[in-house]
Structures are given as structure tokens and as C-alpha cells.
Chains A and B, each alone.
Chain A
Amino acid sequence: MPIAPEESKKTAQIKLVLNGEEMDVAFAPYKTLLEVLREDLWHTGTKHGCELGECGACAVLVNGKPVLSCLLLALECGGTNVTTVEGLGVNGELHPLQDAFADLGAAQCGYCTPGILVTMKALLDSSANPTRDMIREALSGNLCRCTGYLQIFEAVESAVLNIAEAKKQASAA
């Protein structure tokens, strides 16, 4: 009879707010935030490309700041506010970044896309009108092997304009 392996014992437990929803989760204490998100909380939108902090695919926002979830122990995330790609849209409507990425060819295989989207959301949250150089800089930790980045820059710039336009219309109304 196979015996329960020590490794899998879910002896750690935290509370966190994930995409606006309060969550309790128990997990094996060695697990990273990435692993807990994907394997214990069933949020598989966040991807992994190296699990060594090199590719940026696993980026999520912790308290609004982009972090590499593969380098962060989930145990360190108790009480934090975590945003993943699943939390970008509101009530079934895509975030302007998501719309722009979808329309302008910024997602090819789509694997690096979740990490890039949340990283760009953090940029737009801190700077309403970033220059291309700021976009380049903010994206430099997220590798994309498909696009050559240019259509990503353009999508972010397009989203910036759309967000500004929506704000203008909201304030006029």
C-alpha cells in the first residue's frame, strides 16, 4: 500500500484577497505563490516558464506591485491583495489592456500574456500616460518569444488612449 508522502502535507495556511475575493488556502509549506495559485486555488491563468525568476511569465500583482510569483513563498503572502490575469476584467468586460492586446496582435501564443498584462496594469496604475521608453523598461523582465514586442508596445499605447477617452466621457457624463 503506498504511504502518504511527507512532501504533500498541507500544513501551511494563509488568508489572502485574490482578485477581490477573500480566500483561505492550505498548502504544503514549500510551495511558491505561483504553485499555490495554480495548484491549490485553481487559478491557472498565471503561467510559468522557468520557476527561477528569469522569464516573467508568472508575474502577478501583490498589493498592486508586480512580483514574480515563482520566487515568492506563498507563506509570505498572508494578508496580501493579489491580482492575477483572471482579475483584470470586470463583470465579464475585458480590461482595456486586454481588448487592445486582443485587437492588435499583442498576444500570439498567449503564454507570456498574463504576466505582461498584469505588469502593464501596474505601470498604468502608477503612470496614466507612460512613454514608450517607460513601457519598454517596465516590460524588460517579461520575455516574449513570439511578437518581437512591438505590437505589445502599440497595444499598451492604444489602451492608454482608450482609458483616457473613457475617463473623459465618464467625467463629461
Chain B
Amino acid sequence: MTTPEKKDKAEDLRVIGTARRRVDARAKVTGQTRFADDIALPRMAFCKLLRSPHAHARIRNINFSRALAHPGVYLVLTGKDLRIRYGVLPVSQDEQALCLDHVRHVGDPVAAVVAREELTALNALDLIDVDYEILPTISNPEEALATPTPRIHEYGDEGNIHKRVSLQFGDVEASFAESDEVFEDTFFYQGNTHLPIEQHAAVATRDPDGKLTIWSSTQTPHYLHRALARVLRMPAGHIRVIATPNGGGFGGKSDPFHHEIVISRAALILDRPVKIGLTREEVFYCHRGRHPVLMKFRTGVKKDGTITGMHLQTLIDGGAYGSYGVASTLYTGALQTTTYHIPRYKFQGCRTFTNKPPCGPKRGHGTVQPRFGQEVQIDKIAEKLNMDPAEFRLKNAVKPNSLTANFLELGTVGLPECIRQVVKVSGWNEKFRKLPEGRGVGLACSCYLTGAGLPINANAMPHSGVQLKLDRGGGVTLYCGTSEIGQGSDDVLAAIVAEVLGIDTFDIRVYTGDTDLGPVDLGSYSSRVTIMAGNAALQAAERVKSLLAEAVGIKLSVPTEQLRFADHYVYDVGATARRMSFRDAICLAESKFGTLGTVGSYTPPKSAALFPGGGVGPSPTYSYSAAVVEVEVSPETGWLTVSKVWIAHDIGRALNPPLARGQVEGSVYMGLGEALMEEMEYRRLPKKFSHALVHKFPSILEYKSPTSLDMPEIETVLVENPDPRGPFGAKEVGQGPLLPIIPAVANAVYDAVGVRVDESPVTPEKIVKALAEKKAGRAPRYGPKHFPAVNWGFTLFVPPPWEGGDGYALSDIRSAAHRAG
């Protein structure tokens, strides 16, 4: 790993930017991290869910009397016990903890058994008789468009269309007319899943005072808290959600889940703890992973490579429920403008329901698919214009602190530096179009949010809060609602506080993910924790520091601005011998001010995107990445090997460089999995059976993911140009570096053997098919050939900032243009 830009030495940071053991490392390497399934309580019972074997059916009747009579069974629950609908987004309250009368995908839960032993509960599931009336199923968006009835849900924009978006920022067709060339390409991005090694698990118990506590492997304790209060009709203040450290999340543990609600109800009824652990097959059927997306890009360019406009259409396979789908739909069109300047932009997106497990957010939420299309199309455009793809990208790169056509406010932009770095370290100029047949390099770039700028549940409150408590022994305790999912969020919070107070990260106790103990944090998603919880921690730490400084300043007769906190001391920078230990400083301040504690919070800046749909895309700032992938492809078999990956990531500042590098490499790894092999594939069972849509291989063995043998060498460059919006200048790193990998692989395959695979994953089979096309003299390509007709409805017109736009749609009464007539 290299860091090209040396940090300013004058800052003299002691903790931030140094390679440190993370605060929770010891627990992890000794097996003492307490994951949800490691929790066992006295009198604990076990729950199993009966799940639908049909992809679409009405439930006529459920008879569970035999199950209830089975020895060891305590309780059977059905949809009648949990009637209230919920869902993570306010606009998609379409789930039921147990389906009342309608199942929409294989794996939809219909009943729950709670028993003394897990095996007893499992055995009793066989004793529940469910009478289903099987309904026709929809397996993909084209079928959904062609089959408006029967509807999978009673809500949605039309028929089996869940959400439809049509937005236009400037007259794109006029731009195309003035372009030297307009490129039109269709791409398909296959769905895939998170595959965290930890299967979801949870334990719920009724507290001695009658309240409810649940421990769960969730990335979003706050949203689970809300869903539980809603469905159980309990005051939220009587519910305590504790997010246990997640054994991997990647977005898959961001929804409130059936099993969490079911065991909570069961624990309240039985007045004893109830545990559930999902099987791997159940985890596959819970899914909430990457949406399959069909895309059509039309991009206009001038001969000199200037982009004039872009029109993107996306058709999205949502699966059976809403989940984050409305946001996912908007995300497929939100960030196309954040890498290259696109003066006019039109986006149309359509998410349909299908009878498959619901899709949702996975690392790079909704933006991975269109980034693949955009970056492959750019490779095609650059080739046609006879330009180097790196040069094309540099020429069009967005400017820092600028506004995009769709009113996203960019912060620092490290994209050009990332491109220059990967071009340099990969030897791009010596390799591109110069390697022998069968070897190739591909370049791609990306951009990602540093935290969603708007909350899911509209309100004006902070997105994150931190509470600090200082005790007389010199200890500092930090409380925050964040969820540690392996990314290192506890260490980020400890590092920021340690830096400000001049202590060590191991002097700080970090209590996170507990709705009773810590102020609300919205959760570990959208790469929001470092900037939001980090800024909240920074504010809390600065506040308590000023209390300590005031007390110490008076005692030592030193102006507070001359005091420095470092190495467990508060000292006079002018005369370092004049000092006081951190512990004594606490006692002094406590004598003066009373018990010491401060809070900090963070609310993102107001967004400039005021049009409907503008809530998705804004972020306090954005990260940038560029990657070069080198591949070897066998022209005979299509066998594809990635030999090396070079990646540069604009992180603002790396708070703990080995952890930052780990996030980059983990993203590259996951990107390679998506690029090369991972896919959620379904098949229909024969009609004489159930005709159900089942997962082709709901097991880790058959859902291929890269192993230690498949990982190429990765050279990571962290580009550090601190962004004033982030704590100590930090931006996100957990998701962005995944995005350039998939298009870079596809572009490298083209460089190696001259064929385009416009569909993920890029498999040997597809390469061979494309090579056969090439040999037959047809277009050397494998990928979708058409984009179906979609009734997009009314298109909102929003003039871009440079055409007098004020962020509102023209038709909006709040728009100045509207009022001016």
C-alpha cells in the first residue's frame, strides 16, 4: 500500500492516521466477540419458522393443532398473531412477520413454532397443515410488465410495477442533436447476495419489569426498534434493541426481519427468552441483495470526447417486497453525474415486483449496476473516438465543490488523482492495447456516497448522536447507537475521541448498538458511520475537552488555546513541563463543573435537490475510486483469470490505514465475486410439482464466491486529501472501492480477446459465446439485445443549475420558474 500525498506534519496527530490494533481486535481473535447466536439465557426456548414452499399462493387455512400437541412445543404463532404490516421505508409498509393470507415468494414465513429444543421446533413444523391456493407467478420484470394482474401487492405505481421514476435535468434530446455521436448500449447486471458468514440470529426476552429486550445481528437497530414498536404496539421506550456485532452484513442485515418480530412476540407471550438462528438456506431466501437490473444508456459526445448528455433507463427486478426498493430504484439513476460532468441528464427507472426473495441494499446499493454499464460504455466510446480511456475520464472529470445536473453537491474530488495513480502504478500506458492476445487490462472509476444525506423517516433530528462520560479514574466511556458490523466503527469512534483528548483508544470503553444506552444513530448503511457518528464523537469530545481546558487553564495559569492534550497529559505548548495528567484534569474539572459528560450530534447539510426523488443521492461528500484490472483469457475456453488489481481510493483521510486498506481490499474481493461468479439464479419447478420459483442453489458450496485460491494480488493506493466535511478529513471507504471492479474486469476482457460481455457475471461461457459471434463476423458481444417498452408516465423536468434551475421541478409550485410562468 502506498500513500502518495504525505500528510501535513504540523498537524501532529498521534492516533489518527497511525496503524493501530482496533479496539475490538482482541475479542475477535480470541473468539470472545459475542455474536447473537453466542447468547444463551436461562429458560431459553427456541423458534423455527415454517416457510412457504410456493412462490405465490393464497393461504386458505392453517391447522397447527398437531404441532401444538407435540411434546416440548410451547407456542405456535401465525399471521393472525402479528397482523400489523411493516417495512423499512415508510412508503413500503408491505411485510408481515408471518403471512396472514398471501405468500409472495418461496421462503415467505407462514407460521412459527417455539419449543424447548431447537430440534423439537423443527420437527413440529412438519405437523402444521397449510392449505394453499396456488397463484400464477412472475419470474422477471418483463413478465411483470406484461402481467398487471394478479397483482403481487395491492399497492405500487401500476399493476406489478412497484415504483416508476422519470426525471429530466435539461433537454437531453436537444443535447443529443448537437452531439457528434450518440452511443446506445444495453447492459444486464445479475442479482447476487451478501453471503455474510454469520447467519442471522436473535434472542428476545421479557425483562423482569415487563419490557422487551432483543439482541440481534442487525445493521440497523434503530429501524428494528421502530418496526417492533409498530407491530407489537408497544411504546418504543419499553423496547430495547441491542445490535450484537455482526458477523458480516454488507447490507443484508439492514431490514427489520420476520424472525426478530416473531421471537419478540413469543418472548412477551411466554415470559421467557426465545432464540432463533436461521439456516444458510433461510439466509439465501431472506436475501435483500443486489437487484438484477437491465439498463439502457444513451450518451452523447463531441468528437473531442466531451460528454453532452446522458439518458439512462433501468428496469429493476425487485423480488416480492418493497424493502429499500424505492431508494434502490432512485439509486440506479442518482450517481451517474458524480464522476464525469454531464450537462444534461435524463433518468427513468422502473422496479417491478416478482415472486422471488426480495432484493434490497448490498454494498454499493443500487449504484453498482449502472456504474457497470456507464464505465463499460465509456470504454466503448473512448475506443470509437480513438482516445485513451484514462484520458477520456480525466477530460470529463467533475470539479470539486460543484453542483451536478441533478443538484448533488460534491465535496473534495480525488477522481483525477485516483486515475493518475492507478495509471502510474499499473503501468497502464505500457499495457493498454499492447499486451499479447489473451492478456488485457481494463480501467474503470467510481464514486460513492459518504452517508445518505436524508433520513429514511423524514424528520429534522440528528442522524447520529454520541454521549461521553468521563470518570475520576481517567476513564472515558462512549455511547452511540452505531452497529459494529466488522467495518471498524467502534475503533473509528474511539480513535476520534482519543485524538482529541490526548489519550489511547484502549482507555475508552465503547458501548454501541444499544438503543437503551446510546443516542440514536441511523445504522451501518450508506457508508455513513465515519462521517456522521464520527463528527458527533468529535463534537462531544471537543465539548468535554473545552471543559477540561478551562479548569486546567485556570489552575496552571495558561490560556486555554495554549493547552495541548496528548500522551495522557494536558500541557502548556510553550512550557511542556507545565502540565497536568489527564486524570487529574478530569478531577479538577469535575470539582469545578460537577459530573462530566457531553453529547455531540451530526445532521447532514441541507440538500439542493428539492425535486421529488431528490431525497436519494445527496450526501455530505463523495468518495472516488479508480481501478485497473489485468486479466488472462483463454481464447479457446474463455477461462478468465484476474492476475492483478491496482486500485486508488480517495478516502479524504485514513483514520487507521490498515483498516482502511482492509475495506478497500474487501471491496475489491466482493467486486471480483460479482464480476466473475456470484449470482442469484432461480428456476421453476416442473408444473406437475409446484411450478414454484426456487433458488437454484441456496448453499455456500454452489453459490460460488472467491476463495483464498482465487484472490489476485491487489495494490492499494490511498489518496488522502482531507475533506473538511469529514472528521479529520475522512470520507467513506467501505463501499466505493467495490464499484469500479466489475466494469474494469469487463473492459480488461475486451482488451484481452476483443469481445464485450455486457452482462455480469463475466463468465467463461459468455466469453466463449461472444468469441463465437466474433468468429462468425457478427458483433463481438454477449449481452442483452433490447430494452422493453415501459410506460414511464409523466416526466418531471428540472432545469440543471447552469440553466437557471433552483432544484425544484418546473411543475412544482415552489419553483421560481413556475411562479414566473
Task: Establish whether residues A50 and B28, one from each chain, have CB atoms under 8 Å apart when the complex forms.
Answer: no
Residue of B nearest to A144 (CB): B197
* Residues from 107 to 157 in A contacting B, C-beta threshold 8 Å: 107-114, 117, 135-137, 139-153
CB distance from B278 to the nearest CB of A (A): 11
In the bound complex, residues from chain B placing their C-beta under 8 Å from that of A5 are 70-73, 115-117, 119-120
Is A64 located at the chain interface by the 8 A CB criterion? no
Is A2 located at the chain interface by the 8 A CB criterion? yes
Closest 5 CB pairs of A and B: A45-B31, A109-B486, A5-B72, A110-B28, A111-B247
Is B25 located at the chain interface by the 8 A CB criterion? yes
Q: A5-B116, A111-B247, A150-B711 are in contact. Are A94 and B26 (CB under 8 A)?
A: yes
Task: Establish whether residues B30 and A86, one from each chain, have CB atoms under 8 Å apart when the complex forms.
Answer: yes
In the bound complex, residues from chain A placing their C-beta under 8 Å from that of B246 are 109
Range, interface on chain B: 35 or more
Q: A2-B71, A8-B72, A150-B714 are in contact. Are A109 and B245 (CB under 8 A)?
A: yes
Is A49 located at the chain interface by the 8 A CB criterion? yes
- Stretch of B83-91, B134-142, B550-558, B663-671 at the chain-chain interface: B663-671
Task: Establish whether residues A148 and B666, one from each chain, have CB atoms under 8 Å apart when the complex forms.
Answer: yes
In the bound complex, residues from chain B placing their C-beta under 8 Å from that of A102 are 21-22, 25-26, 28-29
Task: Establish whether residues A105 and B487, one from each chain, have CB atoms under 8 Å apart when the complex forms.
Answer: no
- Stretch of A51-59, A73-81, A162-170 at the chain-chain interface: A51-59
Task: Establish whether residues B33 and A8, one from each chain, have CB atoms under 8 Å apart when the complex forms.
Answer: no
CB distance from B332 to the nearest CB of A (A): 24
Is B659 located at the chain interface by the 8 A CB criterion? yes
Q: In this complex, which of A6, A7, A51, A52 has the most chain B Cβ atoms within 10 angstroms of its Cβ?
A: A7
Task: Establish whether residues B33 and A108, one from each chain, have CB atoms under 8 Å apart when the complex forms.
Answer: no
**18 additional A-B residue pairs with CB within 8 Å, beyond A85-B31, A111-B33, A148-B669:** A5-B70, A28-B117, A46-B31, A50-B280, A50-B699, A54-B280, A89-B30, A94-B29, A105-B22, A105-B659, A109-B249, A110-B24, A112-B197, A143-B707, A145-B669, A145-B705, A147-B665, A149-B708
Q: A6-B71, A84-B31, A101-B29 are in contact. Are A110 and B280 (CB under 8 A)?
A: no
Is B488 located at the chain interface by the 8 A CB criterion? yes
Q: A109-B245, A145-B705, A149-B708 are in contact. Are A4 and B72 (CB under 8 A)?
A: yes
Q: Can you list 21 A-B pairs with a CB-CB distance of less than 8 A?
A: A5-B72, A5-B119, A42-B40, A47-B35, A50-B280, A50-B700, A85-B30, A98-B30, A102-B26, A103-B658, A107-B28, A109-B247, A109-B486, A110-B28, A112-B197, A113-B31, A140-B708, A145-B197, A146-B248, A148-B666, A148-B667
Distance between Cα atoms of A144 and B195 in the complex (Å): 10
In the bound complex, residues from chain A placing their C-beta under 8 Å from that of B666 are 108, 145-148
Question: Which residues in A have some Cβ–Cβ distance to B below 8 Å?
Answer: 2-8, 28, 30, 38-39, 42, 44-52, 54-55, 57, 84-86, 88-89, 94, 97-99, 101-105, 107-114, 117, 135-137, 139-153
Interface of B is mostly: loop
Task: Establish whether residues B486 and A108, one from each chain, have CB atoms under 8 Å apart when the complex forms.
Answer: yes
Distance between Cα atoms of A51 and B261 in the complex (Å): 25
Distance between Cα atoms of A57 and B247 in the complex (Å): 11
The total of Cβ contacts below 8 Å across the A-B interface reads 209
Task: Establish whether residues B71 and A111, one from each chain, have CB atoms under 8 Å apart when the complex forms.
Answer: no
- Contact check: which of B38, B74, B707, B709 meets A44 at CB < 8 Å? B38
In the bound complex, residues from chain B placing their C-beta under 8 Å from that of A48 are 37, 199
In the bound complex, residues from chain B placing their C-beta under 8 Å from that of A142 are 708
Distance between Cα atoms of A145 and B667 in the complex (Å): 9
Task: Establish whether residues B123 and A7, one from each chain, have CB atoms under 8 Å apart when the complex forms.
Answer: yes
Q: In this complex, which of A30, A42, A99, A143 has the most chain B Cβ atoms within 10 angstroms of its Cβ?
A: A143
Question: Which residues in B have some Cβ–Cβ distance to A below 8 Å?
Answer: 19, 21-22, 24-35, 37-38, 40, 70-74, 115-117, 119-120, 123, 194-199, 245-250, 279-280, 485-488, 658-659, 661-662, 665-670, 699-701, 705, 707-709, 711, 713-714
In the bound complex, residues from chain B placing their C-beta under 8 Å from that of A145 are 194-197, 248, 250, 666, 669-670, 705
Distance between Cα atoms of A6 and B29 in the complex (Å): 38
Q: In this complex, which of A51, A55, A153 has the most chain B Cβ atoms within 10 angstroms of its Cβ?
A: A55
Q: A49-B700, A109-B245, A147-B662 are in contact. Are A8 and B29 (CB under 8 A)?
A: no
Task: Establish whether residues A136 and B709, one from each chain, have CB atoms under 8 Å apart when the complex forms.
Answer: yes
Distance between Cα atoms of A67 and B188 in the complex (Å): 41
Residue of B nearest to A118 (CB): B31
CB distance from B741 to the nearest CB of A (A): 11
- Contact check: which of A88, A136, A143, A144 meets B700 at CB < 8 Å? A143
- Contact check: which of B21, B71, B74, B486 meets A146 at CB < 8 Å? B486
In the bound complex, residues from chain B placing their C-beta under 8 Å from that of A152 are 708
In the bound complex, residues from chain B placing their C-beta under 8 Å from that of A143 are 197, 700, 705, 707
CB distance from A89 to the nearest CB of B (A): 7
Task: Establish whether residues B72 and A2, one from each chain, have CB atoms under 8 Å apart when the complex forms.
Answer: yes
- Contact check: which of A54, A110, A146 meets B701 at CB < 8 Å? A54
Distance between Cα atoms of A107 and B194 in the complex (Å): 18
